[in-house]
Amino acid sequence: MDAIALLKQDHQVVKQLLEELAESTTRAVKKRQELLQKIHVNLKAHTTIEEEIFYPAFKAAGKKDEEKMYYEALEEHRAAEDLVLPDLLNTDPSTEQFSGRAKVLKELIEHHVEEEEGDMFKDAKKLLSKEELQDLGARMEARKAELLAELKAAA
C-alpha cells in the first residue's frame, strides 16, 4: 500500500471512532472509555509514522511551502495529542465536559485531515514518485505494526 493510501485509511478509522464518541451519551461510560482508548492507540500510531517517516520525506522533497505545511502539521499533532487528548483521558466520561472535549478533539482532527488530504497529499503525489510512495508505505506499515503491538501491550 502506498503511503497516502495508508494514511487515508488511518484517517477514516479515527474519524469513525471520533464520530461514535461524539454521538455517545453521558450514560455510555464503558463505551466512551473503550472508544477513547482505541482513538488514543490509533492516533498515537498514526501520528508517529507520519512524524518519523512521511513528514520528513515530504519536507525533504519540497521547498518553502512544504516546509511550512510540515511545521503546521506537527503543531496540529501537538495540539491534539499533547493538549486536548490528555485532558480528555483525564475527564470523567459521564460528564458533559467530556462531551465538549471529545467534540473539540473531533473538530481538531477533522480540520487536520482536511488539510492533509486537500493540500499535503496532493503535493506529495507531485513531489514523490509512485515507487517512493510505495517504499514509504511499506516502511510506515511495518512501523505501525510495531507501534500498535507496543501500545496495546501497554494499555
pTM of model > 0.75: yes
Say if residues 88 and 61 touch (Cβ distance below 8 Å): no
Cell of 99: 462531551
Q: How confident is the model at residue 105 (pLDDT cuts 50, 70, 90)?
A: very high
Q: What is the pLDDT of residues 76-99, one digit of tens each?
A: 999 999 999 999 999 999 999 999
Class of domain 3-154: mainly alpha
**How far is C-alpha 59 from the geometric centre of its chain's CA atoms?**
18
Residue 2, Cβ density class (10 Å: 0-12 exposed, 13-18 middle, ≥19 buried):
buried
Arithmetic mean of pLDDT, 16-34 = 96
Arithmetic mean of pLDDT, 27-45 = 96
Q: What is the mean pLDDT of the chain?
A: 96
Per-residue confidence (pLDDT) for residue 32, from 0 to 100: 97
- Domain ranges, ordered by start, for the chain: 3-154
Reported as half-sphere exposure (CB side, CA atoms, 13 A), residue 153 has a value of 6
